[in-house]
Chains A and B, each alone.
Chain A
Amino acid sequence: MAPEEICIILTGEFGDGVVDTVLDACRPYAVVRVDGWSDIARFLRDDGRMRFNMLQCVTALDLLEDNKLAAVYDLFSVPVVGVGPCATLRQHFAIRVEVDRDAPHIPSVSGIWPAAEWHEREAYDMMGIVFDDHPNLTRILCPDDWEGYPLRKDYEFPLEYHGIPATTEHQLNSPRH
Chain B
Amino acid sequence: MGTTVLQSGSDVLTDVEGSEQGDLRTEEMLVNMGPQHPATHGVLRVVLRTDGEMVLESVPHIGYLHRCAEKIGENLQPFQYIPYTDRMDYLAGMNNNQAFSIAIEKLVGIEVPLRAQFIRVIFAELNRIASHLVAFGTYGLDMGAFTPFLYAFREREMILDLFESTCGARLTYSYITIGGVHDDLPDRFLEVLDEFLDYFEPKIDEYNQLLSFNHIFVKRTANVGVISADDAVRWALTGPVLRASGVNWDLRKSTPYEIYDRFDFDIPIGLPGGREGVPRSVVVGDSWNRHIVKVWEMRQSCRIIRQAMAQITDGPHIAAKVKNVKLPDDEVYVEIENPRGQLGFYVRGDGSSIPARVKVRGPSFCNISVLNHVGKGCLLADIPAIVGSIDIVMGECDR
B344 within 8 Å of A (CB atoms)? yes
Comparing B196-204, B330-338, B384-392, the segment that makes contact with chain A is B330-338
Q: A61-B348, A78-B233, A141-B398 are in contact. Are A151 and B70 (CB under 8 A)?
A: yes
Q: In angstroms, how far is the closest chain B Cβ from the Cβ of A54?
A: 5
Cβ 8 A contact of B230, one of A59, A83, A113: A83
- Mark out the residues of chain A between 95 and 123 whose CB falls within 8 Å of any chain B CB in the assembled complex: 113-115, 117-118, 122
Contact bitstring B99-132, A, C-beta under 8 A = 1, else 0: 0000000110000000000000000000000000
Q: Please name all residues of chain B whose beta carbon is closer than 8 Å to the beta carbon of A3 when the two chains form the complex.
A: none
B7 within 8 Å of A (CB atoms)? yes
Asked if residues A142 and B66 are in contact (CB atoms below 8 Å), the reply is yes
Asked if residues B8 and A27 are in contact (CB atoms below 8 Å), the reply is no
Asked if residues B71 and A78 are in contact (CB atoms below 8 Å), the reply is no
Asked if residues B7 and A115 are in contact (CB atoms below 8 Å), the reply is no
Q: In angstroms, how far is the closest chain A Cβ from the Cβ of B101?
A: 15
B346 within 8 Å of A (CB atoms)? yes
Count of chain A to chain B residue pairs whose CB atoms are closer than 8 Å in the complex: 117
A80 within 8 Å of B (CB atoms)? yes
Dominant secondary structure at the A interface? loop
Asked if residues B333 and A27 are in contact (CB atoms below 8 Å), the reply is yes
Q: Interface residues of B toward A: which range?
A: 35 or more
For the complex, give the distance between the alpha carbons of A79 and B254 in Å: 10
Contact bitstring B52-83, A, C-beta under 8 A = 1, else 0: 00000000001100101011001100000000
B342 within 8 Å of A (CB atoms)? yes
For the complex, give the distance between the alpha carbons of A90 and B357 in Å: 27
Which of B7, B63, B348, B399 has the most chain A CB atoms inside 10 A of its CB? Answer: B63
Asked if residues A53 and B62 are in contact (CB atoms below 8 Å), the reply is no
Q: Please name all residues of chain B whose beta carbon is closer than 8 Å to the beta carbon of A41 when the two chains form the complex.
A: none
Q: In angstroms, how far is the closest chain A Cβ from the Cβ of B394?
A: 11
Asked if residues B62 and A140 are in contact (CB atoms below 8 Å), the reply is yes
Contact bitstring A36-53, B, C-beta under 8 A = 1, else 0: 000000000000000001
Contact bitstring B319-358, A, C-beta under 8 A = 1, else 0: 0000000001011110100000010101010000010010
Q: In angstroms, how far is the closest chain B Cβ from the Cβ of A129?
A: 13
Asked if residues A138 and B7 are in contact (CB atoms below 8 Å), the reply is yes
For the complex, give the distance between the alpha carbons of A144 and B11 in Å: 12
- Mark out the residues of chain B between 252 and 274 whose CB falls within 8 Å of any chain A CB in the assembled complex: 254-255
Asked if residues A118 and B365 are in contact (CB atoms below 8 Å), the reply is yes
Asked if residues A144 and B9 are in contact (CB atoms below 8 Å), the reply is yes
Asked if residues A57 and B346 are in contact (CB atoms below 8 Å), the reply is yes
Closest-by-CB residue of B relative to A118 is B369
Q: Please name all residues of chain B whose beta carbon is closer than 8 Å to the beta carbon of A54 when the two chains form the complex.
A: 233-234, 236
B246 within 8 Å of A (CB atoms)? yes
Tally of A interface residues using CB under 8 Å: 43
Q: A54-B233, A57-B333, A57-B361 are in contact. Are A115 and B346 (CB under 8 A)?
A: no
Closest-by-CB residue of B relative to A116 is B236
Cβ 8 A contact of A59, one of B255, B346, B398: B346
For the complex, give the distance between the alpha carbons of A90 and B333 in Å: 16
A19 within 8 Å of B (CB atoms)? no
Asked if residues A94 and B62 are in contact (CB atoms below 8 Å), the reply is no
Asked if residues A177 and B344 are in contact (CB atoms below 8 Å), the reply is no
Closest-by-CB residue of A relative to B232 is A80
Asked if residues A114 and B75 are in contact (CB atoms below 8 Å), the reply is no
Asked if residues B236 and A115 are in contact (CB atoms below 8 Å), the reply is yes
Asked if residues A26 and B107 are in contact (CB atoms below 8 Å), the reply is yes
Q: In angstroms, how far is the closest chain B Cβ from the Cβ of A73?
A: 10
B373 within 8 Å of A (CB atoms)? yes
Q: Please name all residues of chain B whose beta carbon is closer than 8 Å to the beta carbon of A55 when the two chains form the complex.
A: 236
A68 within 8 Å of B (CB atoms)? no
Q: Please name all residues of chain B whose beta carbon is closer than 8 Å to the beta carbon of A151 when the two chains form the complex.
A: 68, 70-71, 74
A145 within 8 Å of B (CB atoms)? yes
Q: Please name all residues of chain A whose beta carbon is closer than 8 Å to the beta carbon of B399 when the two chains form the complex.
A: 141
Cβ 8 A contact of B344, one of A56, A78, A81, A118: A56
Q: Please name all residues of chain B whose beta carbon is closer than 8 Å to the beta carbon of A176 when the two chains form the complex.
A: 74-75, 354
A6 within 8 Å of B (CB atoms)? no
For the complex, give the distance between the alpha carbons of A122 and B369 in Å: 12
Q: Write the residues of chain B forming the contact surface with A, with a CB cutoff of 8 angstroms.
A: 7-9, 62-63, 66, 68, 70-71, 74-75, 106-107, 229-230, 233-236, 242, 246-249, 254-255, 328, 330-333, 335, 342, 344, 346, 348, 354, 357, 359, 361, 365-366, 369, 373, 398-399
Q: A59-B333, A59-B346, A122-B365 are in contact. List 4 more A-B contacts (CB 8 A).
A: A56-B344, A78-B249, A79-B249, A92-B255
